[in-house]
A and B are shown apart, each in its own frame.
Chain A
C-alpha cells in the first residue's frame, strides 16, 4: 500500500515537472536561426533510357540570402561545385545535379562586392536518389572589416561590410570592456559605422556583427587600442592562425599549425589563443576562421 502510494506520488511529481518547467530543464532543440528548411519531392526532370524505363534527375537546390551582388560558392565534400550571384536584394538560388544517392556535406560561403568573405556554412544533407531536395532559408551573417588594426587611444574605428539591405544589425565590441550598438544597413546592403572608442582602455579587443536577434555571428576582427593608428592593409595579419598573412585560412595554415602541434615555444601567429600551447583548441579557432 505504501509502495503504491509512493509510485503514485512519484508519477504525480514527475508529470507536474514535465508539464511546467521542462523547457528550462531540458536541452532545447532549436532550429538554426536562419530557419533553414529541407524538403524533398520526386524529381520532375526525367532522364534515362527508352521503353518507359526512366528515372528522375537527383537534384539539390540551395536558396537563401547573402548580400547584393555577392558571389556564393557551393562546395560538395570539400570540392568546389558551382557558384551563383545574388541579386540586388541579396537573394540567391542554385541547383546542383547529383549522380548518386548520398549523404553529402555541402559548404557554402559568400564573397561580397568588396571581396570580403563570409564564414563557411556547412549542411550535411540526406540526399535521396531521384528526388529534388530543396534547402531554403540559408542566411549568411554579414561580412565585416575595420579600417585599423591599431587605434590611437580615444580615437574612432570604422567598421564596414555587407549585409542584407535595410536590416537591423547589432555590433559588439569586446575585450577588457564591451559595448554593443545597433545600426541599420543601407538599401544597397552596405554598412559603415564610425564608432568612437573614447572611454575604452588600452588593450586588445574584438569586434563582430550579427543580424538583430540572430545567434549566428560574423567573423571576429581583432584590433588593439594603443598610442598610434595603424591602418588595416592586405599585408597586415589580423586573422588568428594566418601565419603567411594572405588573409586566407586554408590547408597551408592547418599544416603550419599541425607542425607545431605539441611542440614547445610555438610562434605567436600559430598560437591562436596565446596560451603557449598548440592543442585542439587552436585547431578549433582555425576551423572557425577557415575560408578555404
Chain B
C-alpha cells in the first residue's frame, strides 16, 4: 500500500506539473536596501482567461511593498489595483477579450503570462516565504467558469547585511520615480431618468514606474480618497470637480471637469428675464393705478 502511494505521488507530481498554475518569479540575489520586483506569473495550460482576483502574502519583516509597475503585467483594467491590506497584497482585474499565453518568436508553445509586477524594497536580512493567500482565475468563455489551478509558493532570501546609510536607502527608495502619473481624462456618465444607477465620474490614470496608489477629490478644501466610478449627484448649479492621481512615490497628477448643474445657463437667463418682465409689468400696473 505504501509502495502504491509513493508511486501515485510520484506520478501525480509529474501530471500536475503541466496543469495551470500561479507562481512567483523572484530574483535570485537580493541585498538589503535593494529595490526589486517580483512577478506573479500564470501558466494557463493553453486556455483563454480574462479575470483574476489574487491575494499575495509576503514576509513583512523583510520586505516593504512599494507599488507595482503598470507596464510589467498584462492586466490593464483594474477592479482593485494592487494594495496592501493587513499584510496581504490584494488585486483584481480583467483582460477584455481574454489571453492564453505569451507569444515568443520561433517557439511553438505559449509561455507563461506575467499578471502583475510588484515592487519591493528589502529591509532586513533573512529568508521568508511568498505565498498565494487566495486566487480566482476565470475562463474567457462567456460564463465566468473558474480555472482550476495550483498555487506555487516561493522562498525569498535577502543576503548581505545592511550597511551605512541603509535607512535612507529604504525611505527614499522610490525617489527614482520623479514622474507624476500620465495625464488622464475625467468622463461623466450621465444617468438616464429611470435608471437606478446614478450619474458617475469615471477615470483611470497610468503610472508606468511605481503605479497609481490612490485617487483623491477636493471636497471643501480637504482631499478625500475616492475611486472610480464615483457617483455624482448634480446640484442646481454647475461646479468644477478636481480629481488627482497619486502614485506610490507621492507624485501627483490633477485633472478637472465641469459638472453641469440641473439649471443650465440658458434656464438661469430665462428665469432672470421672466423675473424682470414680471417686475416691470407689476411696476407699470402699480404706476398706472396711482
Contacts and interface: CB of A to CB of B under 8 A. Distances in A.
B231 interface: yes
A75 to B, nearest CB: 10
A287 interface: yes
B115 to A, nearest CB: 11
Contacts of A40: 105-106
Interface residues of A, number: 67
A78 B229 contact: no
A283 B51 contact: yes
Given A288-B98, A288-B140, A243 B197 contact: yes
A78 B11 contact: no
A280 B189 contact: no
A8 interface: no
A14 B10 contact: yes
Contact of B95 (A122, A133, A292): A122
Nearest to B45: A27
Contacts, number: 172
A280 B90 CA distance: 14
B7 A14 contact: yes
A157 interface: no
B174 to A, nearest CB: 23
B76 A285 contact: no
Contact of A256 (B3, B95, B108, B197): B197
Nearest to B228: A255
A30 B228 contact: no
A283 B200 contact: no
Interface in A111-168: 119-126, 128, 131, 133, 135
Interface string A28-59: 11111000111110000000000000000000
- Highest count of chain A CB atoms <10 Å: which of B6, B19, B74, B198: B74
Interface in A254-292: 254-256, 258-261, 267, 270, 273, 280-290, 292
B102 A103 contact: yes
B165 interface: no
Contact of A284 (B109, B138, B196, B204): B138
Interface residues of B, number: 62
B75 to A, nearest CB: 10
A10 B202 contact: no
Interface string A82-116: 00000000000000000000110101010000000
Contacts of B139: 284
Contacts of A177: none
A259 B53 contact: no
A194 interface: no
Given A28-B46, A105-B76, A258-B229, A285 B144 contact: yes
A36 B197 contact: no
Q: Give the interface centre of B103, B106, B114 by most chain A CB atoms within 10 Å.
A: B103
A107 to B, nearest CB: 6
A236 interface: no
A38 B140 contact: no
Contacts of A244: 192
Interface in B37-76: 45-46, 50-51, 53, 71, 74, 76
B197 A260 contact: yes
A30 B102 contact: no
Contacts of B136: 280
Contact of B7 (A13, A27, A121): A13
A251 interface: yes
B79 A283 contact: yes
A175 to B, nearest CB: 13
A6 B3 contact: yes
A10 B197 contact: no
Given A28-B46, A38-B106, A135-B103, A290 B197 contact: no
B92 A280 contact: yes
Given A32-B110, A77-B71, 19 more contacts: A25-B15, A26-B18, A29-B18, A103-B114, A120-B97, A120-B98, A124-B99, A125-B105, A126-B102, A135-B103, A251-B204, A256-B197, A259-B197, A260-B197, A280-B136, A284-B50, A284-B143, A288-B140, A292-B96
13 contacts: A13-B7, A26-B14, A78-B76, A105-B76, A124-B101, A125-B104, A126-B103, A126-B111, A251-B204, A258-B229, A281-B143, A283-B79, A284-B51
Interface of A: 6, 9-10, 13-14, 17-18, 25-32, 36-40, 77-78, 102-103, 105, 107, 109, 119-126, 128, 131, 133, 135, 219-220, 243-244, 251-252, 254-256, 258-261, 267, 270, 273, 280-290, 292
